[in-house]
Amino acid sequence: ATQVHATITPNVTGSGVEVMLGAPLNGPVRVELTDATGRLLMTDRMKGSSIAVPMEALPAALYLVSLEHEGRTIASFKIIKN
C-alpha cells in the first residue's frame, strides 16, 4: 500500500476547510463529508492535490472528511464546525 500524506486546515472552522495531499495520486481521489451519524452530506473528486470543502450552510457540529483512492480510505479527519 502506498503511504499517503494528507493535511486539512483548519480543523475548527466556521466556513469550510481545505484538504491537501503531500503529492498528487494517480487516479481520482474521492472526498466525502459526513456528519457524526455517518450521513453523507457531500461528495466530490479532488482535482490535483487540494480541494476546498465548503461548510457555511451546515450547523455547528462534529463532521468527518474522508479521502478515498482506488476503493480504500486513505485519510480521514474530524472537523469541528462552530
The tens digit of pLDDT for each residue in 47-70 reads 889 999 999 999 999 999 999 999
Counted residue by residue, the chain has a size of: 82
Question: What sign does the dihedral 66-56-45-50 (CA atoms) show?
Answer: negative
For 8-34, what is each residue's pLDDT tens digit? Answer: 999 999 999 999 999 888 889 999 999
CA atoms within 13 A on the CB side of 52: 5
**Has this prediction a pTM greater than 0.85?**
yes
